[in-house]
Amino acid sequence: MAFSEMEMSAEHFIWDILGLSVDDGKLVTRIETKEKIELAKKLSERYFLPLHPNDQTTAEAWSAIRDAIELRNKMAHGVWRMIDAQTPIVVSYRIPIELGRINSEHFPFERIEAVAFLCLKAKKLFDALCLRIAKEGRPTALQPTTHYSDFSLADKP
């Protein structure tokens, strides 16, 4: 549920920054979650709306969101098993390993909780951007500061 909430908040951010109606927004964001998050990241950069005021924190947040997508996909699309009736694992052919083998990954409850917590935190970041757009209006994209017309052949040494 936390993942779905994060994804929906990312969609709303995309819709708000582009000024789309819900119907048009649904058309634009009818893409894989990975692509949707990359679109949100590119728009956030283009319109100077970072997830966090600190550049390093913003970079770490985008990285963590991408990691959460991968982990959620393993949890949602993998096959769950228990080892020794106490160790939950996810079996998936998508977990990298040598050709012809299938691997599993350990998913204790604490790890699942951590992914959910991360998704809810990311949701709050997207929601904060939407609130900022609602209060301040849609920003304009960066305009190039230098135009080719600013140069002339007379400027050559």
pLDDT one digit per residue (tens) for the chain, 157 residues: 999 999 999 999 999 999 999 899 989 999 999 999 999 999 999 999 999 999 999 999 999 999 999 999 889 988 899 988 888 999 876 666 677 666 888 899 999 999 999 999 999 999 999 999 999 999 887 644 444 444 444 444 4
**What residue segments make up the domains of the chain, in order of their start?**
2-139
48: left (phi over 0), alpha (psi -120 to 50) or beta: left
This prediction's pTM: 0.81
Q: Give start and end residues of each alpha helix (H) in the chain.
A: 2-18, 22-28, 33-46, 55-77, 109-136
